[in-house]
Structure 1
Amino acid sequence: MRFTVGDVAYLGGGEADRALAEVAQLRLSVDSRVADIASARSRFGDRTPLLVETVMLRRRAAVKLPDASRWLFTEEAVEQATAAAVAVHRAERLTGRAVHDVTCSVGTELVALAGRAERVVGSDVDEVRLAMARHNLSGSDVLLCRADALHPVTRDTVVVADPARRSGGRRRFDPRDYTPALDALLEVYAGRDLVVKCAPGIDFDRVRGLGFDGEIEVTSLGGGVRESCLWSAGLATPGVSRRATILDGAEQLTDADPDDCPVAPAGRWIVDPDGAVVRAGLVRHYGARHGLWQLDPAIAYLSGDGLPPGVRGFEVIAELGFTERALRRELAARDVGAVEILVRGVGVDPDALRPRLRLRGSQRLAVVITRIGAGSASRAVAYVCRPSR
């Protein structure tokens, strides 16, 4: 639904607090939603859609924000909101600086910046989201104002931007189609310290082609890549153009780190590096740091005789040339009934392959399928493995 400024004013009041607390007690599941909404409507009348939508958005946002139960959101704001741990990481890189978030939306980045940055300003062109930000940031000393991100209203601040990457529910992959467009942001804030949050899969070459010459940081959390973030040259670490940050493992790698990673046959373990490492193109750097080697110079799988601390790996118990028939026979001989399938470099769909293996056993193993070699020497290999956990 579309919220209005009047809706936000109501939702921020004491009467709505009590109503929201009651609606939050309802399950609002697929099975119960019709009955639950009817029950809420009998008590809250025309306010029911506002209350139900707010409760549902808070529940969705809870996976990103620990205090989402008191926040106000729009649906798009929840979709694009930065997970709290990622926002805190970014804010820590800006500690002590004056910062202006020019696309502040409902304020998720501002909360992380407050208390770390020397001074914080937030602005947005959408008056409804700005009203929600005022509610969400009540009690803080963040300055909020309505302004277009492409018309600067501050000087001597680090500019943070999080352009919208969806339109009508569909993702935009070209950064020139962001709102505001990435090329426009780079032009307007040329010569200023600028931080831009982008989609995880953004094309690095295309970004460079737009004239960006700073650092691209890829950040992962909870086993998934959350974002790519552009840090202008004045904020980048000298000599670094790519960085991978693994928040769960408290580990960072950059393209300035050593990358002397050899290529060799599989050892005891196979390691599928964190997505941030792969996306940032730092697989060799990760391997060099942890004493691992590549199975193939063009494939992101690593191998070694030990595992990096805290990293899940796959202990090799069999290696075979990959065909479905050969793999089916191998797994049947090992009494396998469930299998995790990892694939790189070959056209195999794990979900389509799994039922064709016709597994009937009692054991659970993993299979790593990949390509080894190039050109006429290329071959598909399957490694039957035991996961470390």
Structure 2
Amino acid sequence: MDTADSPGFDAESRELAVARWLIGAGGRAVVDALPRYRREEALALAARLRAEGLDADRTAAALTLSRLRTRATATFGERAGSMFFTAAGYEQATRLSVGALHAERFLAAGARRIVDFGCGVGANSLAFCLAGLDVTAIEVDPVAALYAAANAPRAAVVCVDGLATRLPEADGIWLDPSRRTGDGRRIASPEGWAPPLSRALSIAGGFPVAGIKAAPGIAHDALPAGALVEWVSEAGQLLEAVVWLGVGAGRAAVVDGEAFDSGASAADEPVSFVKPREIGPILLEPDPAVIRSGGIARLCERYGVAPVSGGVAYLSGEATPPHCSAFEVLDVLIPEVKRIKRALAARGIGRVEVKKRGTEVDVAAMAKKLSRRGGDPGVVVFSPVLGRGRAIVARRVDAPNGPPRRA
């Protein structure tokens, strides 16, 4: 097998040569000297770099890395400013805080030596190393492998086709199948991933503990019954699903690092539905990880809330469970713009946030249509209520993406 320091990284390709330059002292100096990336300044910067003697390929690589580092600041913090990304690698890279959750799962299961299969640019390898795990990272793309070695220098990065190679012995394996086409489009079917989910599960079966990163929209009936599947969200954004083998079975949500058990005893267990009832004083929107894990019934059972309509993930009750955004219900109206505007004016509401479920509404256009200058912020939720389309005029009880108000 070829490591980052071995001849396997010396392939005669312009792309690899440029990547080598980029991680070297010369490339680092060029990128570090660039101002924070702004799209409107990119052409002028490119012209300046070319005038300074940089060729077209290196100029494009430097500006691309600058752009990706700017985008990555939201997920990697200050560390993004020294990391290396390919465009595809950035799109699939796990944010560092979520990688730390993966590492915690391995550590809790007693795993210390991890194979990071399909490591991409090494985001998970970095998180695993920071947690004290011994990591062998495998990546078939030589440029991504080169960047992974730079991003996670404590990992042993191997540039090889993992599907055609005997994997090293380890306590656990992490697999991150590629879920995009060459032109960046997402691949919906798990069997269209590389490797396909079935192959990833087969590989995972050779290790005591395994985690397989999956698309958050994966259907429950595509999951292996004996797995524990976690849907992970941060600040209200659903990020991923992880199929864990060797750590139990069921489905759970992990919301801002806090676990919520959906109550399912098997990953492919059908979701339980709860009978809707009349809307109460508080409208609730569960975190998307709770929804995807099938945890609505558990929320309703524990906290005495219920859906406002069959098959709709808006709940209502008199208290706010954890992992839910809460809205004070002011009016429930027939969804006509004139009626809604009158209700908003009567309540002193100016700027309007529009939300919807189970109905066809152009959220952005409707928010523009309903908002007016002055007044307090408010929310208009378009949703069936006991089977009939309604507009719910409300105020947020919690700030968007803020901590939930406990029951």
Is the 2:99–2:127 contact (alpha carbons within 8 Å) kept by the matching residues of 1? yes
Gaps of 5+ in 2: 1-12, 266-271, 400-407
Alpha-carbon distance, 1:266 to partner: 2.3
Q: Which moved more, 1:105-114 or 1:298-307?
A: 298-307
Q: Quote the Cα distance in structure 1 between the aligned partners of 2:132 and 2:106.
A: 6
* Residue of structure 2 equivalent to 1:228: 241
SS at structure 1 position matched to 2:40: coil
* Residue of structure 2 equivalent to 1:10: 21
SS at structure 2 position matched to 1:346: coil
Residues 121-148 of structure 1: CA deviation (Å, up to 9, x unaligned): 111111111111112222x2x2221232
Alpha-carbon distance, 1:83 to partner: 1.0
Q: Quote the RMSD (CA, aligned, Å).
A: 2.7
**Higher-RCO chain (CA-CA 8 Å, sequence separation at least 6):** 2
Is the 1:150–1:185 contact (alpha carbons within 8 Å) kept by the matching residues of 2? no
Is the 1:27–1:36 contact (alpha carbons within 8 Å) kept by the matching residues of 2? no
Is the 1:319–1:381 contact (alpha carbons within 8 Å) kept by the matching residues of 2? yes
* Residue of structure 2 equivalent to 1:380: 389
Q: Partner amino acid for 1:49?
A: A
SS at structure 2 position matched to 1:4: helix
Q: Quote the Cα distance in structure 1 between the aligned partners of 2:297 and 2:53.
A: 59
Alpha-carbon distance, 1:267 to partner: 2.3
* Residue of structure 1 equivalent to 2:39: 30
**Kindly, what percent of the aligned residue pairs are identical?**
29
The partner residue of 1:103 within 102, 118, 121 is: 118
Q: 1:6 to 1:288 in 2, by over 3 A?
A: same
Instruction: Tell me the number of residue pairs that the alignment of Structure 1 and Structure 2 aligns.
Output: 371
Alpha-carbon distance, 1:260 to partner: 11
Alpha-carbon distance, 1:365 to partner: 1.7
TM-score, scaled relative to structure 2: 0.82
* Residue of structure 2 equivalent to 1:116: 131
SS at structure 2 position matched to 1:244: strand
The partner residue of 2:87 within 75, 92, 97 is: 75
Residues 36-60 of structure 1: CA deviation (Å, up to 9, x unaligned): 2222222242132232222222212
* Residue of structure 1 equivalent to 2:176: 162
Alpha-carbon distance, 1:253 to partner: 2.6
Query: Which aligned pairs between 1:1-389 and structure 2 lie closer than 5 A?
Result: 4-23=15-34, 26-46=35-55, 47-66=58-77, 67-95=79-107, 96-97=110-111, 98-116=113-131, 118-138=133-153, 140=154, 142-151=155-164, 152-167=166-181, 168-190=183-205, 192=207, 193-205=209-221, 207-208=222-223, 211=224, 213-232=226-245, 234-236=246-248, 240-247=249-256, 250-256=258-264, 263-308=276-321, 312-357=325-370, 362-373=375-386, 378-388=387-397, 389=399
Alpha-carbon distance, 1:317 to partner: 1.5
Q: Quote the Cα distance in structure 2 between the aligned partners of 1:254 and 1:358.
A: 37
Is the 1:321–1:381 contact (alpha carbons within 8 Å) kept by the matching residues of 2? yes
* Aligned structure 1 segments of 4 or more residues deviating by more than 6 angstroms: 259-262
Q: 1:3 to 1:117 in 2, by over 3 A?
A: farther
Alpha-carbon distance, 1:382 to partner: 2.4
Q: Partner amino acid for 1:386?
A: R
Q: Partner amino acid for 1:253?
A: D
Alpha-carbon distance, 1:308 to partner: 3.9
Alpha-carbon distance, 1:280 to partner: 1.2
Q: Quote the Cα distance in structure 1 between the aligned partners of 2:73 and 2:373.
A: 39
Residues 288-344 of structure 1: CA deviation (Å, up to 9, x unaligned): 344433323422112232334685411012223434443344334435432212212
Q: 1:36 to 1:343 in 2, by over 3 A?
A: same
Q: 1:124 to 1:310 in 2, by over 3 A?
A: closer
Is the 1:60–1:78 contact (alpha carbons within 8 Å) kept by the matching residues of 2? no
Residues 58-113 of structure 1: CA deviation (Å, up to 9, x unaligned): 21222221211111111101111011111111111001412111101111001111
Q: Which moved more, 1:74-83 or 1:212-221?
A: 212-221
TM-score, scaled relative to structure 1: 0.86
Q: Quote the Cα distance in structure 2 between the aligned partners of 1:366 and 1:220.
A: 23
Q: Partner amino acid for 2:261?
A: L
SS at structure 1 position matched to 2:120: coil
